[in-house]
Amino acid sequence: MFAVIKTGGKQYKVAKDDVIVVEKLNGEAGEVVAFDSVLMVGEGADTKAGAPFIEGVCVAGEVIEQTRGDKILVFKKKRRQNYRRTAGHRQDLTVVRITDILTDGKKPEAKPKKAAEAKKSDEAEGDAPKKASGKKAAKKPAAAKKAPAKKAPAKKAAAKKTTAKKAASKKKED
């Protein structure tokens, strides 16, 4: 069985156990994601197409990792204007393994946390309030204020220099 799903402005043809790379989705590695925008589903001659989506069909997937795509360089130039700009871009991506194609209005079930992870998170939550209710942390002494930077003495205005013509005309007048 296959399905055509829409996510991140793109369409993907998927089947069970396919691994696809899609635009960034919220979720950590191991979380279950549901794709409700199913455009087509079927197997062989028994294929249904939606207008635009099929109601009651959902594709379940598991987030494998959050990653980033290759760097794309963008270069702009206007000839004879000394204008050049270079910019780079790396797209955030999510790698997803398709676990199931659910029909008849079923929704995917979230996997329960592993027992060890659940204990660690419970212990971490339990420790935080104890620390907060204990003695207040000692205040650090305030750093000594630095003396203001010395300013350089103001420069004297330079005396005006007279040109040779003006000097000659002054001598004639005297």
Residue 169 has pLDDT above 90, yes or no: no
User: Do 98 and 130 contact (CB within 8 A), yes or no?
Assistant: no
**In this predicted model, which residue has the larger pLDDT, 82 or 124?**
82
**In this predicted model, which residue has the larger pLDDT, 101 or 168?**
101
Residue 123 has pLDDT above 50, yes or no: yes
- Furthest-apart CA atoms within the chain: distance in Å: 117
For residue 103, give the DSSP letter.
Answer: -
Give the SS3 label for residue 48: strand
Q: What is the mean pLDDT of residues 28-42?
A: 94
